[in-house]
Amino acid sequence: MESDRSSSSDAADQSPAGFGFLCKKAYAPPPWASHLRPLPSHVFSLGHLPTPIHRWNFPNLPKGTEVWLKRDDLTGMQLSGNKVRKLEFLLADAVAQGADCIITIGGIQSNHCRATAVATKYLNLDCYLILRTSKVLVDKDPGLTGNLLVERLVGAHVDIISKEEYAKIGSVTLTEILKEKLIKEGRKPYVIPVGGSNSLGTWGYIEAIREIERQQHSGSVKVKFDDIVVHAFSVCDDPDYFYDFVQGLLDGLEAGVLSRDIVDIHNAKGLGYAISTAEELKFVKDIATATGVILDPVYSGKAAYGMMKDMTENPKNWEGRKVLFVHTGGLLGLYDKVDQLVSTVANWRRMDVHESVPRKDGTGKMF
């Protein structure tokens, strides 16, 4: 794809030839998606793509089952996670519309909001975040834990709303209120919905499927996958809600297919969105210890936990299958669970050095 820098933001316009990162490029869809409408005209290169795929030594698998891992947690340090795939299309549209600032909304530890805050600064745009939290914390400084630290370091404007107010008013109205306020101040805001989840953002994962196809066909991954496990484990609301939500995305693309025909959604929300049980966090810890892969507690951790439970309860359904699990990132969300994790990571001790070992000041250099 050729770089098109004529209508990009200044940050992208100044990208030297030969450097693809932060460049705006003309977009051509995969042939099997060319019938979808509307087609995006351009896309920004924000993520470090393609993300790698490797075999995952997931414990206690059913007979003959292989689990492979798509590392969308490695799209980039500050932008880490799958949200950057959607932002590549959404921010290209924002720039094309002449926006000078971005509004988005989510939970207090939203990975999407953090990724948006960073990406907007890369493109010389201001970022306004509406974050929901507990009503007992809504009037307090939200702190610097996890995603909040990154958002506030890059200068995002943060508005806090209680979960109760959020539930009564809704994300669309809240973002519209802020949009109208900014317009009156002479700004040109562009609203990105919760999670970047609209039909335009969906193109990010249409591209992800093309990426997986290329990785399989290029020989870098010599395996044909039977199943892909990612959003099919719902971590909030219930499967019926998400079947309807996905149907809305498909209808917005004029796809002409039914959500229930193309995806099987399981409930993995547990106690609720971003609320972890002790068993779920122990699972995250055990997987990290066994495989070196750190899952987040909100999305991939609950999805993998749900996959593990289904494998245990229905092993025949998984036997002999090659499964690709998409790790969607969210590592920073673990920092919000530190107090709950303390009891699971007590593997430390003071080093015992016998008194007979010679000691001399200045022997050990502090570098």
Distance CA 114, CA 146 (A): 9
Distance CA 228, CA 282 (A): 24
Q: Which of 13-27, 126-140, 151-165, 297-311 has the lowest mean pLDDT?
A: 13-27
Tell me the β-bridge partners of 75. Answer: none
pTM for the model: 0.91
Q: Which is the catalytic residue, given 110, 197, 259, 276?
A: 110
Structural domains of the chain sorted by starting position, each given as residue range(s) with its CATH number in brackets: 35-79+198-340 (3.40.50.1100), 93-195 (3.40.50.1100)
Report the DSSP pairing between strands 189-191 and 227-229. Answer: unpaired
Host H or E run for residue 5: none
pLDDT at 14: 46
Distance CA 281, CA 283 (A): 5
SS3 300: helix
81, 85, 195, 295, 340 from 114: Cα distances, Å: 10, 14, 11, 17, 23
Identify the CA nearest to 47 among candidates 259, 162, 240, 205: 205
Distance CA 300, CA 284 (A): 9
- Amino acid letter, residue 264: D
State percent of the chain over pLDDT 70. 94
More reliable by pLDDT, 272 or 255: 255
**pLDDT at residue 16 above 70?**
no
**pLDDT at residue 15 above 70?**
no
Question: Is 45 one of the annotated active-site residues of the chain?
Answer: no
Tell me the β-bridge partners of 130. Answer: 105, 159
Distance CA 191, CA 318 (A): 41
